[in-house]
Structure 1
Amino acid sequence: MQNDALLKELAECGSPETLLAAILKHYPDLKAPIDIEAIAQRVGITEFRDLETPGASSAMMTDIGKAKGVILCAPGLSAQRRRFAIAHQLGHFLITSQRGDRQCTNRDLAESRRDTPHRKEEMQANRFAAGLLMPKPLFSAFVDGLGKLTVTHLHTIAAAYDVTLEAAASRYADLTQAMCALIFIKDGVVRYARPSRSFPPLSIEPGAPVPAAVKSAGPEDKIAWLPAEVRDWLSLSRDARPPKLTMQILSKANGFQLVMLFVNAAAERRADEEAEKLATERPKFGR
C-alpha cells in the first residue's frame, strides 16, 4: 500500500522538485550514500543492464506507458558515475512530460543549460539526480557540520555521498549560502565553472587559459587562501567597487585543478556601509 501511495503521488508530480519532495516524504530516514538502485526498483525500474552502444554513457527502455523500465549503463563507468547515470535516467523515467526510451552521453549528464528542448530535459534529469543522491536537508546539515569553508571539503562530501567530485561541487554551489565559485580546470584551461547564486558574474569562460598563479600551482603545494586578482575572474562595471577576492587551488598530478573563489559577503557589506557613511559625512563646499 505504501508503494502504491508513492507511485500515485509521483504520477501527479510535474517537476524534479515535486518528484524529490514526494520521494523524500516516503523515505524520511534516508542516509548517505543513498541506495539509488533500491529506490529505482521501488518506483518501476525492473532491471539494470550493461550498455554497449558507442558514444552513450547510459540509456533507458520503458513500456508504452512508462510504468516499467530498464536502465542501462556503459560498463566502463566508475561506480560514482554509474550511480549518477542511474539517478539521471530515473529522472527521465519519472518526469511525466519526457519520453521513455532514450540514450544519454557524458555531456548530457553534465548539462546545466535550458536553451533548447533537449538541453532542458537533460538539465531537469540532472537536477533530479543531484537532488536524489544528495537530498537538500541531509546535504545541508552535513556541510554545516564540516565547519569553515575550504575546497578540501568537496572530497569529503563526494566520499560520503559516493558521487564524483564534480557532482559534489555542483550540488554545493547550488545550495551553499557562501559567496563562492568553483572553477574546473584541465591542463591550464578552464573546463567549466559552478558559481553560487550570490557570486558576482564571472568573466572567465570555458576554454580560456587560467591565470599564471593557478597554472603554476602543483599537487605538492599547501592548500591555503590566497589573494586573487579580481580582473582575472570577475566581470564588473567601471563604477563598481571591486570586492576582496580570495582563492584556494586544489591540484592533481594529472593536470586537473579545482579553484574555489570566495568573497566574504559580510565584510563586503561592512565596506559598502563604511564607504556610504564616509560619502555622507564628507563636507561639501559651495563655490
Structure 2
Amino acid sequence: MFRHQKELQFEVKVEGPDPMLARQIQEVLGGQFGEMTVMMQYLFQGFNCRGEEKYKDMLMDIGTEEIGHVEMLCSLISQLLDGASPEDQAEAAKDPATAAIMGGINPQHLLVSGLGAMPTNSNGVPWNGAYIVASGNLLADMRSNLHAESQGRLQVARLYHMTKDEGVRKTFRKMLARDRYHQYQWLAAIEELEEKKGIVVPASFPPEAEQEAQPEAYEFWSLSEGDASSKGPWATGSAPDGSGEFVYIAEPVPKGHAPNPPVPATELHHDLDEKKIQK
C-alpha cells in the first residue's frame, strides 16, 4: 500500500523563473539516470525480491523515497516555469540575442504540459522502462543501483553549477546528500552480499563449471595500440577472489576458425556470386 503525504521531503522554493534550467532539470527527472529510473528500478526489485526480508524492505524504503524525489523535481520544474507565458516569450524573442538564448527552451513545457514537468529527458524524449534493471539477482541489482546513483549524482552536481538560484541550489544540495547516502547504502549491501557468496555474479555458476574455459578467466588481452594497460592491477597479480593469477597477453592470437557460412537459398535474393564462393 502506498499513501501520499502532501508535504515534500525537503523544501523546494526557487528565487525566480528560469525556463532554460527547467528544461535541463528534465534530464535528472526523466532521463536514463533520472529519479524516475531509480524509483522504478528499486520498486520493481523490491516487488520481485524473494530473498531475505531486510533486502526487500530496504528496496521498498528507498524506492518509495524516490517517488518523493520525483515529486520534488516536478515542483521545482513547475516553479521555474511560472511566469513563462507564450506572450512574454514572444516579446522577449524580438531581441535577437534573447531569441538565440530562448531557442533552448523546451516548447513542450508550454504546448503539452502547460508549465508543468513531464516524464521526459532534457530533449523531450519520453522516459523508457528499458532504463531499469531488476534481474532477480541481488548482487547484480545492487551493483546496478550503485551505478545509477553514481550517474544521477554526477548529473545533479553538474546542474548545481549551471544556476546561481540559491533556492534551486538548496534543493540540489539535499538531493546530492541523499544520493551520497544511497551510494553508501548500495556499497554496504554489495559488501555484505560479496562476503556471503563471493564477488562474481552469478555465484550459482562456479568457476569449475567453466571447465576448459578456466584459463580465459584470468587473461588480459592487449587489443589496442601500446602497452599502458599492462600497468593496471587487472593485468597482473591475483584475481580479487584469490582463485587465480592474472596473465597479460601482449600478442593475443585467435583461438577459433574463420566462419564460412553456406550460401543462402536463392529465394532470399542475396545476389551473391555462388561460383566465386564455391571456389
- What TM-score do you get using the length of structure 1 for normalisation? 0.26
Larger RCO (CA within 8 A; separation ≥ 6): 2
- What TM-score do you get using the length of structure 2 for normalisation? 0.26
**Looking at CA atoms only, which structure, 1 or 2, has the larger radius of gyration?**
2
